Amino acid sequence: MKRTFIHAFVVLATALCVVWMFTACVGRDKPTEETVRKNVERIGLSGMRTEFIVGDAFDTGNLTVTVSYSDGTTEVVSSDVYTVDSSAYSKDVAGVYTIAVKLIDTAISESYKVNVKKADVPVHDWTDDGALKILMIGNSFSDDTIEYAWSIARNIGIQNVFIAGLYIGSCTLDMHADNARNNRAAYAYRTNSNGKMISVDNYTMRDAIRTVDWDFISLQQASGSSGMPDTYDALSYLTDYVHENMRASCYAKIVWNMTWAYQQNSTHGEFHKYNGSQATMYGAIVDTVQTKVEANDSIEKIIPCGTAIQNARTSYVGDTLTRDGYHMSLGLGRYIAGLTLIHALTGLPIDEVDFVPTGMDEIDLPMAVDAVKKAVRNPYEVTESAYKTDPPAPTVDPTKYTALAFELEQGFYNSVDSKNPVNIIKDNSDFNRLFLATKRFTPTEIPVGSIIILEPGWQYRPERWTDDAVQTTRENNTTARKVTVTPAWWSGYTYRAFNISKVGAAEPIHDKIDMAKSAFRIYIPKEKT
């Protein structure tokens, strides 16, 4: 009897526990692990150890894995939800090895590269000497990439910057390799150590490599061949050549500049290779970099310019980032490429960057930063822009700024005109009637901190003079809606003036002075008036 009672009690208690557990589980309505994982979009990696000496056992260092979910949230996860595949790593052989990190029970993964060096080869980081030194071996697309790189690097806090490029228009990997084999003095060597680009002709690749203890030496394919895997046979020769010709004191990392797809309406002669499709070309570039470039263990990092541009194309600017269907636009396009270069190579944050070159609208800066950050985080996949709609029209706080009063005259300046470099050119031609010009201003009249506002449909050319002699270069027309005057905007010039016209100089405005004044405005900080 007693035994029967105890048995019945145990059965009853067990049943109550089962009911309680079922009720509790149902009531909590907690998403299952499978549901959570279905909502994961990507993982990001940071803090991992990437430099080793031959003989070092592999370790992840301070690896942090961040999961990004489809709802826009992120979470740092513990090591029990991901695996690290280091099977490619060899502690006994110097080289570059790929380490893969995979989220358990998903297909979501990310990889990074580690460098194993001989004991007698110092582990080098670009910060070791406080300077950033980059050499781009390329063509016009590398020229686009480095145009603003020096100024961007300085703007984010790097004090000593040296940017250089070896340039031959449309130069392919095969052409670079042939020039290297024959030590041809075929390049324009373009350098920037102080904010101004200097070009020297008839340079060899060998001399450029040996000139400086570079931190990074970049290679790239010509644009038309960038998505053609069968054009990459010379890559191994070039990486070996670069290594063999470095100075003994140079421990540069060889990197790859992944270029961009053409604008959709491009008339480039090689666009047919991709069926005249931007999406096809971008996909081919990505696939080729993954299969041909990543397979080369000497390539230690990818500069995802092509993905940054593609990301930006999903924003409100759309497919407008080239000046001719394939080269980057002189303002925003080149800026995005340069920002990608610096962010990808240094790893420094770019959220506070505020350098904006002439010709670029500063209201586009947040979009550009967004596109670049997403590309560096996810270099082989387009990530939609967070900036889908046109920013609101720029405004100026009337309590802090005073509108500058100025007059306009029919005509225009041409600072590179040997006959009349400093005066407004006036005549009664139809062409002359397309323009209105301001007076020449000094830095005192338009001080640093002033703001230039331009309405849509209009453009201006900011002329500049160091003296009253003929100048060597002119700036291009810009449609930037808001430009803040910085020390770089003046950049040692003595005078500035403006040629104002409708976009594309599309219609006469000689009799529309009031309309032009309303469209083009300059505001001076009140503390400087």
Strand locations in 342-490, DSSP E? 401-403, 409-410, 436-437, 451-454, 458-465, 482-484
Rounded distance between C-alpha atoms, residue 292 and residue 221, angstroms: 11
Q: Cα separations (Å) of 337 from 102, 142, 311?
A: 30, 9, 12
Q: What is the CATH number of domain 35-117?
A: 2.60.40.3630
DSSP 475: P
> What is the reported pLDDT for 124?
82
The DSSP element (H or E) to which 55 belongs, if any, is none
Hey, is 366 helix, strand or coil?
helix
pLDDT in tens, the chain (529 residues): 444 444 444 444 444 444 344 444 444 344 445 445 458 999 999 999 999 998 999 999 999 999 999 888 999 999 999 999 999 999 988 888 999 999 999 999 999 999 888 887 777 889 999 899 999 999 999 999 999 999 999 999 999 999 999 999 999 999 999 999 999 999 999 999 999 899 999 999 999 999 999 999 999 999 999 999 999 999 999 999 999 999 988 999 999 999 999 999 999 999 999 999 999 999 999 999 999 999 998 999 999 999 999 999 999 999 999 999 999 999 999 999 999 999 999 999 999 999 999 889 999 999 999 999 999 999 999 999 999 999 999 999 999 999 999 999 999 999 999 999 999 999 999 999 999 999 999 999 999 999 999 999 999 999 999 999 999 999 999 999 999 999 989 988 999 999 999 999 999 999 999 999 999 999 999 998 8
For every residue of 127-189, DSSP letters joined together read: GGGTEEEEEEEESHHHHHHHTTHHHHHHHTT-SEEEEEEEE-TT--HHHHHHHHHTT---EEE
Rounded distance between C-alpha atoms, residue 284 and residue 307, angstroms: 12
Residues 6 or more apart from 401 whose CB is under 8 A from it?
451, 523, 524, 525, 526
Rounded distance between C-alpha atoms, residue 43 and residue 35, angstroms: 17
Alpha carbon 303 to its chain's center: 8
The DSSP element (H or E) to which 260 belongs, if any, is none
Write down the residue that tokens 């990437």 correspond to: 50
> In which region does residue 144 sit, left (phi positive, over 0), alpha (psi from -120 to 50) or beta (all else)?
alpha
Name the token pair of 421: 């470099």
Crossing angle for the helix pair 332-346 and 305-312, to the nearest 10 degrees: 130
| In the chain, where the domains are located | 35-117, 126-377, 401-528
Rounded distance between C-alpha atoms, residue 367 and residue 382, angstroms: 14
Rounded distance between C-alpha atoms, residue 216 and residue 142, angstroms: 14
- Cα dihedral angle (272, 320, 144, 337), rounded to 10 degrees? -110
* Long-range contacts, 91-96 (Cβ 8 Å, 24+): 91/52, 91/54, 91/55, 91/56, 91/57, 91/58, 91/116, 92/54, 92/55, 93/54, 94/54, 94/118, 94/121, 95/297, 96/297, 96/298, 96/299, 96/300
Residues 6 or more apart from 26 whose CB is under 8 A from it?
none
> What is the reported pLDDT for 142?
98
Write the burial class of residue 165 (CB in 10 Å: 0-12 exposed, 13-18 middle, 19+ buried): buried
**Matching CATH topology for 35-117 and 126-377?**
no
Strand locations in 15-94, DSSP E? 40-48, 51-53, 61-69, 74-77, 82-85
Residues 163, 189 contacting (CB under 8 angstroms): no
For every residue of 280-343, DSSP letters joined together read: HHHHHHHHHIIIIITT-TTEEEEE-HHHHHHHHTTSTT-S--BSSSSSBPTTHHHHHHHHHHHH
DSSP 248: T
Closest CA to 488 of 529, 448, 446: 448
Alpha carbon 100 to its chain's center: 25
The DSSP element (H or E) to which 98 belongs, if any, is strand 95-103
Q: What does the radius of gyration of the chain's CA atoms come to, in whole angstroms? A: 29
- Topology at the third CATH level for domain 126-377: Rossmann fold (3.40.50)
- Cα dihedral angle (293, 296, 302, 304), rounded to 10 degrees? 10
Rounded distance between C-alpha atoms, residue 331 and residue 356, angstroms: 9
- Amino acid at residue number 166: L
> What is the reported pLDDT for 38?
55
